[in-house]
Structure 1
Amino acid sequence: MPRALIAFVHLVEKLNYGVGRFAMYLLFVLMAVLMWSSISKAMGAPSLWTLEMAQFVMVAYYVLGGPYAWQLGTHVRMDLFYARQSVGSRALWDAFTVLAVIFYLGVMLYGAIDATAYSFEYGERSPTAWRPYLWPVKVTMVIGFLLMLLQALASLIRDIAHLRGVSI
């Protein structure tokens, strides 16, 4: 395998590892927002921003943590037949199926970029009482889809290397 591809795989996995470790701590932010929501409701003055903020934090947790989960192999698999196959056969199936994932992520990234551009151009805001700008969550989605696409490419390169008998 060319050194540039090996370096690409290592760079992507290092980046996704760091972003994924950061995303893990967003769970604490989510808990704090939801705790404040409960406390403010119990005190008789419910906050208008807590539900949407919790949704935004959950989006960031999910899309930024997805590439990290893929890297660690903790995604759910339908392994009815997969688990019984040899390691080489699994790498072949993974290399084949990741192409569909790459296409899907490309479409999602295109849509997210378009939606983000719209959000910036028109100053899009949520139609709720709090009315936050929507561009921060849309930028987060673009970053998450881009990182997932990069992780899919790194996985494809790793699978091809495995099929060629090269360890990355």
Structure 2
Amino acid sequence: MDFLELAKKRYSVRKYEQKKVEEDKLLKILEAGRVAPTGANTQPQRIIVVQKEEGLEKLKKGANVYGAPLALVICADHNVAWKRPFDGKVITDIDASIVTDHMMLEATDLGLGTVWICYFDPNVIKKEFNLPENVEPVNILAVGYVKDESVSSDRHDKARNPLESIVFYESY
């Protein structure tokens, strides 16, 4: 499948089968996160794999993962993050989001569904998963086999703005 076909195939899944994601698929998803580009190649991503019942219960205290049998908590280590020299912007959110996107698309390519979660209590996640002060939870990616959902890949024709409303050439 070509990239645009893959990108259009992916959608936010909120109903999952209780079938465990196979280890080989999990490792491919994690590898996609490992090879994702980061600012100045600092690689600040720290990924917590949550798939055991105990961990999923801890996760539920601060986030809704919609019953997914696997969740990846994508964190960023502020001690190794790149800072833009002109204004000091720390790009941990950007790096963690690139990593999340790579893993999300790999999961889609493997026939799995995902939902990218930003609506969570970071303090609960930090406490429940023993994150050090310098490590920030940025995103959660719920992963699993889709249950009873089907979304048309041509939905983007209606649900997305046309190019001419979002793209500007040479100047705004």
Greater strand content? 2
Greater C-alpha Rg: 1
Q: Does the TM-score normalized on the shorter chain lie above 0.5? A: no
TM-score, normalised by the number of residues in structure 2: 0.24
Scaled by the length of structure 1, the TM-score of the pair is: 0.24
